[in-house]
Amino acid sequence: MDWVDRMNKAIGYIEDRLAGEVDYEAAARIACCSTYHFQRMFSFIAGVSLSEYVRRRRLTLAAFELQNGKIKVIDLALKYGYESPEAFARAFQNLHGTTPTAARSAGAKLKAYPRISFQISIQGVAEMNYRIEEMPGFSIVGVQEKVPMSRAFEVVPGLWANAAQDGLFGRLWDIRADDHPVSGILGVCADGDFGRNEEFHYVLSIVSDRSPPEGMTKRDFPAATWAVFEAEGGPEGLAELWRRLYTEWVPVSGYELAYVPAIERYLPPEENRNELWVAVVPK
């Protein structure tokens, strides 16, 4: 299947560059998706962040080299992207529970994390309610924050709570575009940063054609095809929907993920549901 092949090729690209610099944006392009979607998709499927996977694989290979060769620790540290032998030794001990020097000894207990591979597995029979929408271009205006990928479902509710306390939603409502199909307060998930915390931008926003007030930012969306999914209940329903999007819908849908930020659309509480809007391209 195309999706499985692309993901495995992206992992192959990363594996070939563990001893050196990994270009995560290039890996995302091989997987035919944005860095944001690639980060999240990998985390949901593998159960760890991509940066953590790379760290474990590098330290696994480093342990093999220590046991089977005479390479110096300083050379090994530089080979696998550490700035100093001390930084490498700390990371090595955190993972393996022993020092690089002790790892050379016979009988040393070490950990090995194998290369990951992707395949389709049969999931549950629960339905996913979605529709396809064709939408002309539009703009959103709101407050943009950086969010660590690994803690998104912890951090984002706090952003909403702070926004409510600060009166942000009222200010957004005052600049809304009337009668737009993507009405209401939105959480826009954009970009992707493979730095230390593997972050993305989350924009608490509303559809608007106005110039952004002070402290806010504006983003323009192109005309696109959108897959719109319904999630019952509160934010926890959206969290589960994200997981199912990547692990169940994308691999078999006949659509590719477009290079466009995704949108969490929060509806009035009495509706007891929210929506996830993801731009897609037919295969």
Confidence of residue 121 (pLDDT cuts 50, 70, 90): low
Task: Give the distance, in angstroms, between the CA of residue 13 and the centroid of all CA atoms in the same chain.
Answer: 18
Look at residue 272 in the predicted model and tell me its pLDDT: 78
Model pLDDT for residues 77-88, shown as the tens digit of each residue: 999 999 999 999
> Residue 264: beta bridge partners?
187, 276
Provide the CATH number for the domain formed by 2-103 in this structure: 1.10.10.60
Where helices occur in the chain by DSSP H, the ranges are: 2-15, 24-30, 35-46, 50-68, 73-79, 85-96, 100-103, 152-166, 168-174, 235-244
Confidence of residue 240 (pLDDT cuts 50, 70, 90): confident
Confidence of residue 150 (pLDDT cuts 50, 70, 90): confident
CATH 2.120.10.70 fits 130-282, yes or no: no
**With 60 as the cut, is the pLDDT of residue 279 above it?**
yes
> Residue 207: beta bridge partners?
140
The DSSP output letter for 46 is H
Q: Comparing 238 with 259, which gets the higher pLDDT?
A: 259
Model pLDDT for residues 249-258, shown as the tens digit of each residue: 988 888 999 9
Q: pTM here?
A: 0.84
Residues 114 and 46 sit within 8 Å (Cβ to Cβ): no
Between the alpha carbon of residue 131 and those of residues 194, 229, 275, the distances in Å are: 32, 7, 11
Domain with CATH 1.10.10.60 in the chain: 2-103
Look at residue 111 in the predicted model and tell me its pLDDT: 94
Closest CA to 227 of 28, 11, 37: 37
Look at residue 47 in the predicted model and tell me its pLDDT: 85
Model pLDDT for residues 178-229, shown as the tens digit of each residue: 889 999 999 999 998 766 668 899 999 999 999 999 999 999 999 999 999 9
Domain with CATH 3.20.80.10 in the chain: 130-282
- For residues 85-94, average pLDDT: 95
Between the alpha carbon of residue 86 and those of residues 60, 66, 74, 228, the distances in Å are: 17, 16, 9, 49
Model pLDDT for residues 19-47, shown as the tens digit of each residue: 988 998 999 999 999 989 998 889 888 88
Unique residue bearing structure tokens 């589960």: 240
- Write the CB contacts of 257 (distance below 8 Å, at least 6 apart in sequence): 32, 33, 34, 37, 250, 278, 279, 280, 281
Other C-beta atoms within 10 Å of 76: how many? 22
Longest dimension (CA), the chain: 72
Look at residue 38 in the predicted model and tell me its pLDDT: 92
